[in-house]
Amino acid sequence: MSTRRRRSVFELFEELRNQVNRMFEEMMGPLLPPETPMHNVSRRELQPLTHLRETEESIIITVDLPCVRKEDIRVEATENMVKIEAPTRECLRLSPYGAIQREAEFDVFRKTVKLPVAVEPQKARARFKAGILEIVLPKKIAGFRIPVE
């Protein structure tokens, strides 16, 4: 007598669903957005490209902010997060593309960056050059010196 348990329709369906999901992920993986879309039409905001790198002492965030004036950029930092808001010089009208087939207007870049380690926000410094914002945030504990015996 076989000891194999007959699987229920639900289990078979679950397995089939998992298989389809796996195939879909394999096929569409490179096409799926790694994050959310980089715009919000109703809030008229664009998400800028950001890059975060870590050195021994600091977290350095660079943000691509074309069409922005230095004096309009607002950066707020806490120990674990940095918020960037940068109104554009003028309203950006993007012609129909992709999911936005109506002309869409944007007038601000917004981005919140979660930091991998705690920083000292009051010691942060920032500069804006060629449309790129660079924020340097010193780490809260940059490192203890361990005496070598």
Instruction: Report d(CA 36, CA 45) in Å as an integer.
Output: 13
Shortest gap between Cβ of 107 and other proteins (angstroms)? 12
If the CB atoms of residues 27 and 146 are measured against other proteins, the closer one turns out to be 27
Q: Retrieve residue 44's tokens.
A: 């008229």
- Tell me how far apart the alpha carbons of residues 81 and 119 are, in angstroms, rounded to a whole number: 9
Least distance in angstroms from the C-beta of 124 to other proteins: 18
Answer whether 106's CB lies under 8 Å from 45's CB.
yes
Beta bridge partners of 105: 93
Cβ nearer to other proteins, comparing 116 with 131: 131
Q: Catalog residues that contact other proteins under the rule CB under 8 A.
A: 27-28, 30-31, 34-35, 37-38, 46-49, 51, 62, 64, 66-67, 92, 94, 97, 129-132, 134
Which two tokens mark 42? 């109703």
In the complex, least distance from residue 52 CB atom to other proteins, rounded to whole angstroms: 10
Count other C-beta atoms under 10 Å from residue 120's C-beta.
15
Q: How far is the CB of 123 from other proteins (least distance, A)?
A: 21
Report d(CA 106, CA 23) in Å as an integer.
37
Kindly tell me which of 12 and 100 has the beta carbon lying closer to other proteins. 100
- Looking at the Cβ atoms of 9 and 28, the one nearer to other proteins is 28
